[in-house]
Amino acid sequence: MNRLSMENLTEPITKDLDFQLQDPFLLYRNARLAIYGIWFYDKADCQRIAELMK
């Protein structure tokens, strides 16, 4: 969810995504070379989601 806008970002998970885990952020770069970060309140959730996305 995006707090700054009414529109939420959706990104398909493909082999072109590069991930980097930096608790509490999950950073990724998509095929268009745009870099985004997902903030997690719970670090354990951040690590769990990073593992699922691998």
Give the Å distances, CA to CA, from 41 to 12, 38, 44.
22, 10, 9
Q: What is the pLDDT of residue 10?
A: 85
Q: State pTM to two decimals.
A: 0.76
**Contact between 49 and 22 (Cβ < 8 Å):** no
Q: Where are the domains of the chain?
A: 18-53
For the chain, 54 residues long, give each residue's pLDDT as a single digit of tens: 667 778 888 888 888 889 999 989 999 998 889 999 999 999 999 999 999 888
